[in-house]
Amino acid sequence: MIHQPVLLKESVDFLTTKIDGIYFDGTAGFGGHSTEILKKISSKGRLIATDKDQSAFENCKRLFSGDARYSIFNTSFTNIDTISKIEFIENFDGIFADLGVSSFQLDNIEAGFTFREDTSLDLRMNKQDGISASEFLNSADQDKIAKVLFEYGEEKNSRNIARKIVEARKNEKFESTFQLRKIIEDLTPQRFVTKSLSRVFQALRILVNNELDELRLFIDKSVNLLGVGGRIAFITFHSLEDRIVKEKFKYESLSCICPPGTPVCICGKKQTLKLVTHKPVIPTDNEINNNKRSRSAKLRVAEKV
Ligand SMILES: C[S@@+](CC[C@H](N)C(=O)[O-])C[C@H]1O[C@@H](n2cnc3c(N)ncnc32)[C@H](O)[C@@H]1O
């Protein structure tokens, strides 16, 4: 299987509350969740999807080509507002995202996400967007590189790694994954190398894809575009993403943000969501045994009020 969907039944059961509803899958990937959503809705229902990645887009377009209920766009999920206008949709009944990258992207050498193969150090989901990871490492100053590795990868050795990167690029510009891998291997005790590589590659991937800002924007736009009773369900894979989803859902579920002790409410805040899952739903031991990549997944769901 190209990509094994994570928390499939749990997420789609929470999301699809209306059989004739209109749904949005922001991260189509290889169509695992979309297939399940389409099974749950009637011939009057619709599913609109996006994926930034060209291969994922083409795969889903082919996979669902015979289904008139389905449309897909090769763009960021942050364009949900423009897409809803193109599709004459006022409100969605459910908005879904399964964040990060697919197993296909991680395993495919040409996609350039793996540190296990010597390939171009790019890490962009859409190769036309912004700058590649190598362009960033070749141009950013040492402090900025260290900050990115620390903030987006929680890499404790970020300062030393950044110093070595800046030293190394004086002799040879960064182009390949193995140039970066060698620096981390030279600086890290053998038993921590894989973890450190994962953190550094995660940090660069988050940066070049602008993942955290896009997530914030997508949640804000989704809250506006959900109809009353519509649900938002997001699966995250690391603490930075999960914190954003958790805090945004919590903020939207508050009806007052006045300081404690304020005699009457003066903030004007309106509640827009209510939490459906108070704690994140996580995969069962069985799912983790069958699919190691599911182990860090967390599903959070909220409903528009
Ligand atoms: C974990 S995979 C989704 C897998 C999918 N749920 C399935 O079952 O096949 C994440 C997908 O989201 C896409 N993606 C990540 N960020 C995106 C964004 N901001 N806009 C659109 N697609 C995005 C990636 O290219 C990748 O294909």
DSSP conformation class of 258: P
Question: Does ligand 1 have an atom closer than 6 angstroms to the CB of 101?
Answer: yes
How confident is the model at residue 3, as a pLDDT? 83
Q: What is the DSSP letter of 259?
A: P
Q: How far is the CA of 164 from the centre of ligand 1 (A)?
A: 33
* Helix (H/G/I), strand (E/B), else coil: 91: coil
Sheet holding 226-236, edge to edge: 70-73, 46-50, 22-25, 92-98, 226-236, 298-304, 273-275
The string of pLDDT tens digits covering residues 202-219 is 999 999 999 999 999 999
Question: Cβ–Cβ contacts within 10 Å for residue 200, how many?
Answer: 26
pLDDT under 50: residue ranges of the chain: none
Domains of the chain with bracketed CATH:
8-103+213-304 (3.40.50.150), 130-208 (1.10.150.170)
- Nearest Cα neighbor of 126 from 191, 59, 196, 75 is 75
Predicted structure pTM score: 0.95
- The CB of 56 under 6 Å from ligand 1? The reply is yes
**For residue range 133-190, what is the model confidence (pLDDT) as tens digits?**
999 999 999 999 999 999 999 999 999 999 999 999 999 999 999 999 999 999 999 9
**Token pair 């960033």 is at which residue?**
136
CA nearest ligand 1 atom 8, residue: 32
Mutation pick for ligand 1 pocket among 1, 2, 15, 27 (CB with most ligand atoms within 8 Å): 27
53 in ligand 1 pocket by Cβ < 6 Å?
yes
Return the ligand 1 atom nearest residue 3 CA.
Answer: 9
